[in-house]
Amino acid sequence: MSRREVGLQRLICDSQVHAPDTPHAGPIDGMEAGALVREMETAGVSRCVIVPMVPPGSDARSSNGAALEMAQGDLERFAVMAPFDLTRPQNAALLATWRSQPGMLGVRLAFLREPNLSLLLEDRLGWFWAAAEKAGVPVTLLAPDLEEKVGQLASDHPRLRLTLDHLNLHPMRAYDDLVPAIQPLLGLARHDNVAVKASGLPCWAQEPFPFSSLHRPIAEVVEAYGPKRVFWGSDLTRLPCSYLECVRLFTEELPFLAEDDKDWVMGRGLIEWLNWDRKN
């Protein structure tokens, strides 16, 4: 008997939405709390990980503070993966109490441009990885074409939980075929401390819902990592489709996912991976 037939509701947790609203943050703005809650209720999404948008040239701490305030206003729904200033090694001490802030789950990093890109390529972030590992702070990161570097990090810091955003696809790049594009990502699955976010994928689809070009790459990622280390997400403010269609892609259109697999992919896996207790 299916979940729908017995009337059970699946807990759905979105692994990434940019919020709160931060005007002029760049080509992608965040969402304010009320609008996000309405979208979540329409699509049947119970929880959401907030990734703050940081306006160019601004102090990330101000955006983190606004995101934490939003999360703390509704800890049943929201928590934060926050940016971290990698140019200041003296800030390593902050990681020891990072998760003691109500609503804070961990750190989110992007290695798309300077200064972060050079800091990673030149191996100048050992202080950060060591401090995050020691403090038990999970890290999500976007590092297109840098899978070899990520693999080395995973080997050097086996107790550090790393999650790659968006199948590690570049947000500004069009792909003719995602299958070859994700092959380096599949190789990282051998590291037990690496997981992947299947987030924002309709942005790379070549056709409208149900996005048939996405089915095979998703299947290959789930086969490599297992459903417990693949986390659905929307990246809602970038979607070329409705929030509900982004949910239905995984809950209705992927026959290779068993119902138990969907439970893990749609929320349970992320919640356990990040140790998300809604009381904290």
Selection from 222, 223, 230, 218 nearest residue 267 by Cα: 230
Peptide bond into 208 cis (omega under 30): no
Q: How far is CA 256 from the centre of its chain?
A: 22
Q: Which residues pair with 78 in a beta bridge?
A: 48
Count CB-CB contacts under 10 A for residue 108: 22
Which pLDDT belongs to residue 65? 85
Which pLDDT belongs to residue 24? 44
Q: Which residues pair with 197 in a beta bridge?
A: 231
Contact 60, 83 (CB under 8 A): yes
Which pLDDT belongs to residue 8? 53
Give me the CATH code for the 13-273 domain, please.
Answer: 3.20.20.140
pTM value > 0.85: yes
Peptide bond into 20 cis (omega under 30): yes
Q: How is the chain split into domains, by residue range?
A: 13-273
pLDDT tens-place values along the chain, 280 residues long: 344 433 357 999 999 999 886 554 444 567 888 999 999 999 999 999 999 876 544 444 555 888 999 999 999 999 999 999 999 999 999 999 999 999 999 999 999 999 999 999 999 999 999 999 999 999 999 999 999 999 999 999 999 999 999 999 999 999 999 999 999 999 999 999 999 999 999 999 999 999 999 999 999 999 999 999 999 999 999 999 999 999 999 999 999 999 999 999 999 999 999 999 865 4
Which pLDDT belongs to residue 25? 46
Contact 274, 136 (CB under 8 A): no
Which pLDDT belongs to residue 21? 65
Q: How far is CA 194 from the centre of its chain?
A: 12
